[in-house]
Amino acid sequence: MQHLGAQLRRVEPGLVEIWLPYSDKVTQQQDGFHGGAMGAVADIAGGYAGLTIAPEGMEVVTAEYKINFLGSYQGGALRAIGRVVKPGKRLIVCTAEVVHVDDDGKQGPCALMQQTLVPVPKTY
């Protein structure tokens, strides 16, 4: 997250909001946000949301996610909100919505993700 410039903005049980500012670290050849950056910020937001409800001494890892890319934007920032849909002992299902916010506050849809997390023992 530090390398990409992502910022943790909100943490609540089952919900996490991450912002990713526009920079040359997160763009593709046409200067729009890269799909990999959208996927990364969605995965991080959903994963952290799942972590907020994981039992003490456990972490989460992503087993899979599916993402739909809805639009590409330049400038501004991406806002990803991850939410826990179904908590569980063996699997946690989350979603993340990625929205572009331009410098004037105008918003546009970027991506929707569904994710399956697996709780694992914390090893450090």
Under 8 Å between Cβ of 8 and 44: no
- Segment 40-92, tens digit of pLDDT: 999 999 999 999 999 999 999 999 999 999 998 999 999 999 999 999 999 99
pLDDT confidence of residue 22: 97
Q: Give the up-direction half-sphere exposure of residue 28: CA atoms within 13 A in the CB hemisphere.
A: 10
Q: How confident is the model at residue 124 (pLDDT cuts 50, 70, 90)?
A: confident
Global pTM value: 0.95
- Where in the sequence is the domain holding 46, given as residue range(s)? 2-121
* Cα separations in angstroms, 70 against 11, 24, 67, 91: 25, 21, 9, 27
Please check the confidence at residue 20 and state whether its pLDDT lies above 90: yes
Q: Evaluate whether 117 touches 62 at the Cβ level (below 8 Å).
A: yes
What is the rounded CA–CA span in Å between residue 25 and residue 51?
Answer: 26
CATH number at residue 15: 3.10.129.10
**Count of domains for the chain:** 1
